[in-house]
Amino acid sequence: MALEPGAVIGFVGTGVMGGAMAGHLMDAGYVLRVHNRTREKASHLVDRGAVWCAKAGEVADGADAVVTIVGYPADVERIYLGDDGLIARARVGALLVDMTTSTPSLAVRIADAAAARGVHALDAPVSGGDVGARDAKLTIMVGGDAGAFAEAEPLLQVMGPNVVLQGGPGAGQHTKMANQIAIADTIVGVCESLAYAEAAGLDPARVLESIGAGSAGSWQLTNYAPRMLRGDFAPGFFVKHFIKDMRIARDEAEAMGIALPGLLLALDLFEELARTGHEDRGIHALYLLYRERVRAAGR
């Protein structure tokens, strides 16, 4: 049975992206039970009528489905598999949807543990950052049972129109790794392009007018490059979380025996950026490394 408006949805993780996503569900008519590590970040939802839950597991009480989007795989494991976690508290037949970028192996473990209790679980990581979350235009990559996907699809489409079932448990996370690899390589290219333009004495903003409309165009170039040039490095997606994602992708690639040198270069650069105190900025803050190198060269 599809999850239509009026269904009770537990929601864990109301930060930069989750807060907007939960808000769209309320706008669509879903009834929310919410939890966040910092209560203040859920206050705008509680003020609108969402029920506050002091612990993550509590959101599952009486819920038809639970959506989670938290920081790290360790958080996902604790929330789902803990003694008082979501799987333990979910009613038989409920649906659990983890939208965190996590490890494929953990997604499989959660799906197996949920099935053992008569609960359905999907891994459904997203792409689109804060802008996509705010505008309800996220891309959602799903792994799990086809029947559970059909049940969840109306709910997921409230948060983004591009919702695709990629395969069984873990397939959503593997697809997100492919997505993050493409972003990592592309954002390095954007930074290097702007650094070259600046070193050559060009106006980088004017350069963008030319290359953004040509074959070099990309989402990263269109959305992040202007923010780089303005010095606006507010996080839509944190550097520290992107490093987590790239490390997962690196480990998965190594396990499969494939070489991804572009990913490894990007990971090295972002780890350097984090060491210089920028782990809580947006990922486009990578440009700060390149800008410093251009200035150190006297350009």
Residue among 41, 55, 176, 240 flagged as catalytic: 176
Phi/psi of residue 167, each to 5°? Answer: 155, -160
CA atoms of 19 and 180, how far apart (whole Å):
22
Tell me whether residue 41 is one of the annotated catalytic residues: no
Secondary structure (3-state) at 167: strand
Contact, 31 vs 7, CB < 8 A? yes
| Contacts for 147 with CB less than 8 Å, ≥ 6 apart | 120
The burial of 88, by beta-carbon neighbours within 10 Å (0-12 exposed, 13-18 middle, 19 or more buried), is given as: middle
Query: 3-state DSSP: the chain helix, strand, coil percent, rounded to 5?
Result: 55, 15, 30
The string of DSSP letters for 170-230 reads THHHHHHHHHHHHHHHHHHHHHHHHHHHHHTT--HHHHHHHHTTSTT--HHHHHTHHHHHH
Contact, 243 vs 279, CB < 8 A? yes
Pairing outcome for strands 126-127 and 139-143? antiparallel
CB neighbours of residue 296 within 10 Å: 8
CA atoms of 2 and 27, how far apart (whole Å):
18
Contact, 234 vs 284, CB < 8 A? no
Secondary structure (3-state) at 121: strand
Q: Which residues are catalytic?
A: 176
